[in-house]
A = this chain, B = another copy of it.
Amino acid sequence: MLHLPFELIDGFDTLYRNNLINSCSGFKSANLIGTKSNAGFENVAVFSSVTHYGSNPPILGLVMRPTTVARNTFENILETGFYTLNHIHKGIYSEAHHTSAKYPAEVSEFRQTDLNPEYKNSFYAPFVADCPVQIAMKYVEHLEIKINGTILVLGQIQDIFLEENLLSTDGFINLAAGNVVALNGIDGYVETKLINREPYARPRVLNETEN
């Protein structure tokens, strides 16, 4: 095993450290977040930090770095209270990644890519057309992380749209069957294959032997 102590990591150049730290935590969700400002400017941006915070009520979190291109997304969420989460699939991952390019707020990434906005159910923010899972979100609260100024945005699920064949009889959404991709680090897109769904874990008879 290679050992990278903190002193070594701290001394790496920015690009190397960004790649290393972004890829060391495991696989990440790959979502497109759709917003629209009060002035009517649409925005869509790739995020890899969507995290489950609770099922009842259904709450998802999202990490913002205020100094990046993601700022348009955050401003629109605060201004309007609404946003959408859309799952990136194999057919669009390259165009989805392009939304990380830095455009001014008045230039929609929908215009600069092959991604298309989709409006439905009278929801204010645009969904991304052709995504196998699309979620309408309502802003709840945000918290600032002291150590580096990043912001955790919490939102409540309003509506879930999904391809019918992905939904199992017990509520499980089979993301691999929808060709949903995951992210490895900043720029590595992976396809997936379901190995197994594990049964609910019940305690085994206590093992009395020394470990």
Contacts and interface: CB of A to CB of B under 8 A. Distances in A.
A124 interface: no
Q: Is the interface of A mostly helix, strand, loop or mixed?
A: mixed
Copies per assembly: 2
A36 interface: no
Contact of A101 (B20, B152, B201): B201
Contacts of A59: 145, 147-148, 150
Interface of A: 1-6, 9-10, 12, 14-31, 48-61, 63, 65, 85, 87, 90, 93-94, 97-103, 107-108, 110-112, 116-117, 121, 133-135, 140-141, 143, 145-148, 150, 152, 154, 156-164, 167-168, 170-176, 180-182, 184-185, 187-204, 206-207, 209, 211
